[in-house]
Amino acid sequence: MLEVIFLGTGGIMPTRERNVPAIAIRYKGEILLFDVGEGTIRQMNTAKISPMKVEKIFITHFHGDHYLGLAALIQTMNLWNREKPLHIYGPKYTFEFVQNFLNSGFFRPGFEVHVHELGETRLKFGDYEVWSFKVEHGIPALGYVFKERDRRGKFVSEKLAQYGLKPGPILGKLEKEGKIEVNGKVIRLEDVTGPKRRGVKIAYTGDTEPAERVKLFSERADLLIHDATYLSAEDRGEGYHSTVGEACEIAKKARVKLLALFHRAFRYTYDEYLREAEAICREFGVNFVVPRDFDVLEYKAGNWQFKNLLEGAE
């Protein structure tokens, strides 16, 4: 199961309606955090996500609304007697800034914190990879791609019959070793399976102006979470952010399946922003959502299913 949980969807400063950026990807029991704005630990508690399941945190850049929740999160882990190491990834200066956090006040974690500074990097973790890529925000800043490894195709009964194979331990051996020998003939896994099944791909830009690197790294993504802070270039002014229209243009060019408009400026109400976004995205023919805090996108059978964790809760 794979879920994308939006813990904070606003930009710049928190409001009564929404918190600042934090996104959790739940994958096979693991939680990966992408950005950890102030108040993220409260959002995690509300969403019933245990900080003890977080082993990796990916920070896009060091503006306060994207990382100031890190100290509170680490201290909570420490109070809960965490023993497992925590890995924090980010752009240039990540080591310096995280060390400043860890050395502030009368507080040192009782578990290992490993800090990794990234450029454009491909990190491999078992059944998935995380790619980092440079974005345009006026300071060192990264976007990230979560890419599930492609899975083997299913066994095809007609192909199995051609080789005289039947379900049982021999197929388990073939799946594990990639090839077997039967009656002097070598049978490879690809000889008896269908086409590979493409693993899910999620791209997250963090804060950025429209950038060619975003289009390149989000090509054919199942989900693109793109900075769409402003409704218009006039609203943006000189800020290093994207508009809804610019995010839609990138999504269309990259042929993504679903666009999530993220980091909405606090000047807009949700209804106002959604109304304008619908008109803009319709022109581009882009399938989109405007996530609220605690919205969840669950990936099932090649499609996204949408829900909110708080709907129906007391």
CB-based contacts of 180-188 (< 8 A; 24+ apart in sequence) = 187/163
- 66 marked ligand binding residue: yes
Helices 94-102 and 70-79: angle between axes, nearest 10 degrees: 50
Do 201 and 143 form a contact (C-beta atoms < 8 A)?
no
Amino acid at 87: H
Residue 235 is a catalytic residue: no
Tell me: is residue 263 an annotated ligand-binding position.
yes
In 3D, which of 193, 192, 196 has the Cα closest to residue 162? 192
**Catalytic residue among 65, 227, 293, 295, which?**
65
Give the total residue count for the chain.
314
Does the annotation place 295 within a ligand binding site? Answer: no
What is the sign of the dihedral through the CA atoms of 96, 98, 100 and 106? Answer: negative
Q: What is the 3 state secondary structure string of the chain?
A: CEEEEEEECECCCCCCCCCCCEEEEEECCEEEEEEECCCHHHHHHHCCCCHHHEEEEECCCCCHHHHCCHHHHHHHHHHCCCCCCEEEEECCCHHHHHHHHHCCCCCCCCCCEEEEECCCCEEEECCEEEEEEECCCCCCCEEEEEEECCECCCECHHHHHHCCCCCCHHHHHHHHHCEEEECCEEEEHHHCECCCECCCEEEECCCCCCCHHHHHHCCCCCEEEEECCECCHHHHCCCCCCEHHHHHHHHHHHCCCCEEEECECCCCCHHHHHHHHHHHHHHHCCCEECCCCCEEEEEECCEEEEEECCCCCC
226 is in an annotated binding site: no
Output the known binding site for Zn(2+): 61, 63, 65-66, 137, 207, 263
Binding site, by residue number, is: 61, 63, 65-66, 137, 207, 263
Catalytic residue set: 65
